Structures are given as structure tokens and as C-alpha cells.
Amino acid sequence: MNSTATPHIGRKISRIRELRGMKQETLAEELGISQQSVSQMEQSENLEDEKLDKVAKVLGVSKEAIKNFSEETVFNIIGNTVTNHDNSSLFAYHPSFNPIDKIMEQSDKIEELYKKLLEAEKEKVAYLERLLDKK
């Protein structure tokens, strides 16, 4: 297979949905489509930008996050955040940088992420309130 092949957007949507613990039925309900339509979408190599925007919003990520999603990145994040509890490793760890400086460098990114997460939560609450009002 050619390494410049088009990324399979449907598979990326499927993996992000699964990582978020969301079922196809839930995504379908949020999008106002059938579960079968979600299944077909997840089998599609491409998706129109308008549909991708809607899916991204429901999944709580950006359209670019879906397009750039890779399993390798997820495994790297997990591998870099999982710790082993062997105390001997504590004595061998001597960072060549000040961890506080690194945290401060990331503070703007963390603040932006927090704002996005907060906005997504507000949208979820508003959606749930609308659902309750319908009943």
C-alpha cells in the first residue's frame, strides 16, 4: 500500500468514539441519524466537512483532532504517563530540566484545553436540559 494513502477518517472517528466510551447508538442519537448511518460513516474513507464538524462537536474534539488522530500518538501518551511503582526507578531519575519551568511553559495550553473542556461540558448540560424539557 502507498504510504501517501488517504487517511481513513471513518476508522479515526470510530476509535475516538470508542476511547470516549461512546456507543454508536449514542453518537447516532446526538447526530440525529440512525445507528446504521453511523456504522456506514465509520466505514467511509472520507467525510464531508459539514458532517465532520458535527461529529467532532459531539465527540468533544476538533475536526483537526479527528483528521490528525493516530493510534501511535495515543500509545505514546499512555506510555509516557503510566508509571511503574518500583521505587528504585525514583533514585535513577535526574531530569536535565526544571519540571516547574516545563509546567509553566505548558500553562497556556492547559488553560486553553480547560476552556474547551468546560465549553463541551456546558454544551452537554444544555443538550441534556433540552432532552428533559421534551419529556
Q: How confident is the model over 6-18, as pLDDT tens digits? A: 578 999 999 888 8
**Are 75 and 96 within one domain?**
no
CATH of the domain at 72: 1.10.260.40
Answer whether residue 19 shows pLDDT above 80.
yes
Q: What percent of the chain has pLDDT over 70?
A: 67
Strand ranges for 13-133 from DSSP E: none
Provide the domain limits for residue 128: 86-135
**Are 62 and 96 within one domain?**
no
Model pLDDT, residue 90: 45
**Are 99 and 75 within one domain?**
no
**Are 36 and 19 within one domain?**
yes
Other beta carbons less than 10 A from residue 34's beta carbon? 13
**Average pLDDT in the 33-47 region?**
94
| Close Cβ partners of 25 (under 8 Å, ≥ 6 residues apart) | 35
In the chain, how many domains are there?
A: 2
Q: pTM of whole model > 0.95?
A: no
In this prediction, residue 133 has a pLDDT band, given cuts at 50, 70 and 90, of confident
Q: How confident is the model over 60-100, as pLDDT tens digits? A: 888 888 888 876 666 555 555 555 555 444 444 455 655 56
DSSP state of 5: P
Answer whether residue 106 shows pLDDT above 80.
no
What average pLDDT does the chain have?
A: 78
**Are 21 and 70 within one domain?**
yes
**Are 9 and 22 within one domain?**
yes
